[in-house]
Structure 1
Amino acid sequence: MIKGLGASFGYALGKVFVLEEENIIEKITIKNVKKEIEKFEKAIDSCKLDLKDLIDTTKLTIGLEESKIFEAHLMMLEDPEFIDKSKELISSKKVNSAWAVSSVSKSFIEIFESIDDSYLKERAIDIKDVTKRLVDKLLDRNNEIYNRLGVIIVANDLAPSDTAKMDINKILGFITRNGGVTSHSAIVARTKGIPAIVGLGDDIENIKNGDIIAFDGNSGQIFINPSEEIKNKFIRLNDEYLEKKEELKTFIGKKTISKDGKVVEIGCNIGSPKDLEYVLDNDGEGIGLYRSEFLFMDRKKFPNEEEQFLSYKTVLEKMNGKPVVIRTLDVGGDKNISYIKIPKEDNPFLGYRAIRYCLKNPDIFKVQIRALLRASNYGNLKIMFPMISSIGEIRQAKTIIEECKKELENEGIILKNKYEVGIMIEIPSAAIISDLLAKEVDFFSIGTNDLIQYTSAVDRMNQTISELYTPFHPAVLRLIKLIIENGHKNNIWVGMCGSVSGNPELIPLLLGMGLDEFSMNPSKVLNSRKIISKTDAGFINEKIDEILNISDAFELRNTLKNIL
């Protein structure tokens, strides 16, 4: 048995198809530079058309957020630096366009791969994807790997477009030498429901073309040429997995209520109005996190007030009175937008980002606040500020809301519906003074992704120390309990929009702590509702002190399993 990083849940059992690396592109001296540049330009145009088709298909079959991967690829093909350097190489060296493109892209790839940041390092594969697409056009070659019936793809890397084109009825799963769980290929695999393991490293050399393998996309375990016993085990596990997926459909239309009668709400995290179909299909009870920054991405300038208003209005109307929490612009950290000029920082996650950026740029912030206030007339709006670390930031933000409200009233726009104002609690300082912050707002939403990394001093993008990034750290769980208690003491509701809220092992504990609202990926709603329906919240509440007195994260996790 060998082990990689489980990147997409599911079980796979089948024959291996090893995807070989492309041969080195031959460098050829050309005579007609003008003709070669025309060939290059035609290939660029053809690739753009292919990508536009792929973007449209991905939006329809996978989702809006995943389609943005290929919108970024389209932008690469429009990058003047990439295009001009390729043309310059063709012209000055009189070389074939395929070699020129490959040579120029290598310099870009080397830059990304040298960056000491695992997230940015993985973006090198996007450049490789675009380069391969362009070179294939120039060499008139077609290597379709996506529809080989009943195989498990094994490769050094897989481009996001490779994953997006995979037919889930034919491809059983994939395994890669490189990559991490935040890679675009892994994201697409999870959304499409393709089992996947990444980051296997040199152990991938043990897998040969034609081998039969069984793997678990959750644990990362791989069995090469398994025994009949292991094969039967995987067949059974897969059957059980499919049965459970079908069973979950019975929870559509039901209230989210615990075994002992505690009613809570399960909302969904979205990035665009187009994501609403997944919310409605999975019976989400509201929007617990609308990431408004996606409105600002993949464009060349800020969206104006009307654009923002229409987007927020659409979500509020389609949710038909259900709560919609819209997070104000959360830029910086790992979310960089080209036209938003944030200076390079040594520690961007601790730097000039989110509410800090908005408060220093009130003209930009006020456009969003005005759009949100106007949209509040069309539904149940809750405005949420991210990255709050002090009471002063809340008061500044609320002052801007009041200024915008007066401006709108002076323009004859009356706000008919009451809206709420809340904050994300994702910084330890905010958690510690949550009793004071609760007096200033209508709700809290706990952002566990950042709360874990700030509390544990662990970069959540760093694979080398990934085992230290755990929601089971007792300090993290104690802070969550404190936040919930302080919210309730001040009569405000407390939700959670970080990944922990959809963690099946922690949902019962959060329920016992008194969490009012869980917000998660739409695909997790029904399973979470099922878990809550089988949980006695009162019983868990009685065990909380015992659980939080355990000092070790590993031991705490095991104790939770035994109690539940």
Structure 2
Amino acid sequence: MLTLKGKSVSSGITIGPLALFHRNTISTAVRPIDDAEAEVSRFQAARAASISQLQSLYEKAVEKVGEEQAAVFEVHQMMLDDDDYVDDIVSQIRDEKLNAEAAVEHTAQNFAAMFRGMDDAYMQARAADVLDISRRVERELCGGEGIDFSAYDQVIIAADDLAPSETLQLDTDKILGFVTSGGSTNSHTAILARTLGIAAVVSTGTQLHNDVDGKTAIVDGTTGTVYIDPDEETLERMKKRQDSEIRRRQELESVRGTESITRDGRHIDVYANIGNPDNLSQVLSNDAEGIGLFRSEFLYLGRNTYPTEEEQFEAYKKTAQTMAGKKVIIRTLDIGADKKVDYFNLAPEENPAMGMRAIRICLTRPELFRTQLRALCRASAFGTIAVMFPMIISTDEVRRAKAILQDVQRELDEQGVKYDSHMEVGIMIETPAAAVMSDELAKEVDFFSIGSNDLTQYTLAIDRQQTQLDAFFDAHHPAVLRLIGQTIANGHKEGIWVGICGELGADLALTETFLRMGVDELSVSPPAVLPLREKIRSLDLKK
């Protein structure tokens, strides 16, 4: 038995045959060329064909996993149109007389090395993207056939890493799990596994070879452990755990349709977090009582231009109508930090997590902010929408944001456009500054929503995407919990409700702690709704 230890990106246990992921061989060897311009034309034709393929893949992926996950194919098209990338390849063909295949490969490796050398974990992960688009162009140049993805049926995929396009072309209904020797918890493979609920372990550090192909494997996504060719004792033990998990999911059905109320009668709103309207089916199927965080920035990602007012209005309207009167809290755009968009033309920053992002962009680009607020207000006529401003550190920011909102509403009044004049306005508490000043901030808004991910990052001074610091990162740190408790208490003193919409909201080990602090709402990923409701219903806060 071979036991591997990696990083868990999606919980659950899966058992099945291991299938090594095989890519077609591409030759990028250097060979002499006679006509550089003909070689440039050959590269441009391969690039155009690759862009066309990516557009087709995008359209298929939208139907399969929604726009948020499919956006990677739009990003890849943009990367193939990047002037620096294209010019580097063309100059190598013309100046160094390299054949197109070799020029693409040299550029791919140089760009990938550049991304890997960056401090930001998100940018480091982009190395996989530039290699992915380059492989596609190289395959076109070599005239090779694509990978036969249909060959992977009811297997656990094992690979060094899976490129975004490879992951999304797999028939995930037939994939039992993923195991990769490389990759990160921020990779597209990891994101897809979490979205679809497929057990996955990445970064095992062990490259697997043909001698294990077809052997039975167990992926324990809960502990990040992989067993290959397990002995009878291990197999039996893991089958029992798998059966237990299946029974557990069946047991959770008993709380579907019930109230999220403690034994002593305390009701807690259990809402869901989403990125766009494509996630609404998950919200409904998991019986969430509302939407506590609509990450509106996903409407801005994977595009070449800003979304129009009408595009945003239709997305917010659809969400409000689908939720049929249940509350929908929409966070204004939180671009910046790990969410980079080229057309925003943000200046490079040494520490983007503490730079120009979220409300800071909105207040320095008021016309961009006004467009989003107009769409939000107009959509509020079709349901129960609340607006929430992120990354607040002062009362001045809140007042300035509210002033712009009020000006937009006056404009809508003059135009005779309907909107909910009683729409709630809240803020994210995700900086220590906001938590410490929560007594003053509570006087300005209708609610607080605590973003525990960033609050933990900024309180502990640890980049939450820097995996090398995992040993130092403690989401249960007393300082973080004190700030959360202080925020809830200060909010209640001013008569406003307080929720939590970060990862800690789904941490069942802290549910009772949060309820005793007095939290009013918890917003979690859709699959976490029923386990959280069950936990709440088991508690008696009088004891």
TM over 0.5, shorter chain: yes
Pairing partner for 1:467 from 471, 476, 499: 471
1: CA distance between counterparts of 2:412 and 2:172? Answer: 50
Note the alpha carbon deviations across 1:77-107, whole angstroms, 9 max, x for none: 2223323433443344444332222222112
Report the counterpart of residue 76 of structure 1 in structure 2: 79
Cα distance change, pair 2–307 in 1 and its aligned pair in 2 (3 A):
closer
Pairing partner for 2:14 from 9, 12, 28: 12
2: CA distance between counterparts of 1:308 and 1:173? Answer: 35
Q: Does 1:44 align with 2:47?
A: yes
Identity percentage over the alignment? Answer: 41
Q: Does 1:424 align with 2:428?
A: yes
**Aligned partner of 1:4: which letter?**
G
Report the counterpart of residue 390 of structure 1 in structure 2: 394
Cα distance change, pair 473–204 in 1 and its aligned pair in 2 (3 A):
farther
Note the alpha carbon deviations across 1:136-162, whole angstroms, 9 max, x for none: 232213333563344433322211222
Cα distance change, pair 360–35 in 1 and its aligned pair in 2 (3 A):
closer
What is the Cα deviation at residue 119 of structure 1? 2.1
2: CA distance between counterparts of 1:202 and 1:62? Answer: 30
What is the Cα deviation at residue 210 of structure 1? 5.0
**Aligned partner of 1:233: which letter?**
R
Say which SS state the counterpart of residue 229 (structure 1) adopts: helix
2: CA distance between counterparts of 1:215 and 1:48? Answer: 35
Q: Identify the range of structure 1 (368-377 vs 426-435) with the bigger mean alpha-carbon deviation.
A: 368-377
2: CA distance between counterparts of 1:447 and 1:103? Answer: 42
Is residue 269–residue 290 contact of structure 1 (8 Å, CA) maintained in 2? yes
**Aligned partner of 1:519: which letter?**
S
2: CA distance between counterparts of 1:101 and 1:198? Answer: 28
Is residue 160–residue 207 contact of structure 2 (8 Å, CA) maintained in 1? no
Q: Does 1:185 align with 2:189?
A: yes
Cα distance change, pair 537–56 in 1 and its aligned pair in 2 (3 A):
farther
1: CA distance between counterparts of 2:210 and 2:512? Answer: 41
Report the counterpart of residue 369 of structure 1 in structure 2: 373
Q: Identify the range of structure 1 (522-531 vs 118-127) with the bigger mean alpha-carbon deviation.
A: 522-531
1: CA distance between counterparts of 2:304 and 2:65? Answer: 25
Q: Does 1:496 align with 2:500?
A: yes
What is the Cα deviation at residue 121 of structure 1? 0.7
| TM-score normalized by the length of structure 2 | 0.92
2: CA distance between counterparts of 1:61 and 1:300? Answer: 22
Note the alpha carbon deviations across 1:334-370, whole angstroms, 9 max, x for none: 1222122322222221122211222222222222222
What is the Cα deviation at residue 37 of structure 1? 4.2
What is the Cα deviation at residue 202 of structure 1? 4.7
Cα distance change, pair 69–242 in 1 and its aligned pair in 2 (3 A):
farther
Report the counterpart of residue 558 of structure 1 in structure 2: none
**Aligned partner of 1:188: which letter?**
L
RMSD: 2.4
What is the Cα deviation at residue 419 of structure 1? 0.3
Gaps of 5+ in 2: none
Structure-to-structure mapping, 1:112-191, within 5 angstroms: 112-139=115-142, 140-144=144-148, 147-191=151-195
Pairing partner for 1:244 from 248, 253, 256: 248
1: CA distance between counterparts of 2:220 and 2:235? Answer: 12
What is the Cα deviation at residue 2 of structure 1? 3.5
Note the alpha carbon deviations across 1:490-536, whole angstroms, 9 max, x for none: 21111111111122322333233222111122222222222222222
Say which SS state the counterpart of residue 428 (structure 2) adopts: strand
Report the counterpart of residue 334 of structure 2 in structure 1: 330
Gaps of 5+ in 1: 540-564
Q: Does 1:214 align with 2:221?
A: no
What is the Cα deviation at residue 122 of structure 1? 1.2
Q: Identify the range of structure 1 (219-228 vs 459-468) with the bigger mean alpha-carbon deviation.
A: 219-228
Is residue 331–residue 389 contact of structure 2 (8 Å, CA) maintained in 1? yes
Cα distance change, pair 205–485 in 1 and its aligned pair in 2 (3 A):
farther
Report the counterpart of residue 103 of structure 1 in structure 2: 106
What is the Cα deviation at residue 55 of structure 1? 2.0
Note the alpha carbon deviations across 1:391-423, whole angstroms, 9 max, x for none: 111111112222222222223335454101100
2: CA distance between counterparts of 1:41 and 1:343? Answer: 30
Report the counterpart of residue 314 of structure 1 in structure 2: 318
2: CA distance between counterparts of 1:192 and 1:46? Answer: 30
**Aligned partner of 2:103: which letter?**
A
Q: Does 1:521 align with 2:525?
A: yes
What is the Cα deviation at residue 34 of structure 1? 5.3
Q: Identify the range of structure 1 (296-305 vs 377-386) with the bigger mean alpha-carbon deviation.
A: 296-305
2: CA distance between counterparts of 1:536 and 1:100? Answer: 67
Cα distance change, pair 306–154 in 1 and its aligned pair in 2 (3 A):
closer
Structure-to-structure mapping, 1:80-91, within 5 angstroms: 80-91=83-94
Say which SS state the counterpart of residue 45 (structure 1) adopts: helix
2: CA distance between counterparts of 1:234 and 1:379? Answer: 46
What is the Cα deviation at residue 318 of structure 1? 2.0
Is residue 15–residue 210 contact of structure 1 (8 Å, CA) maintained in 2? yes
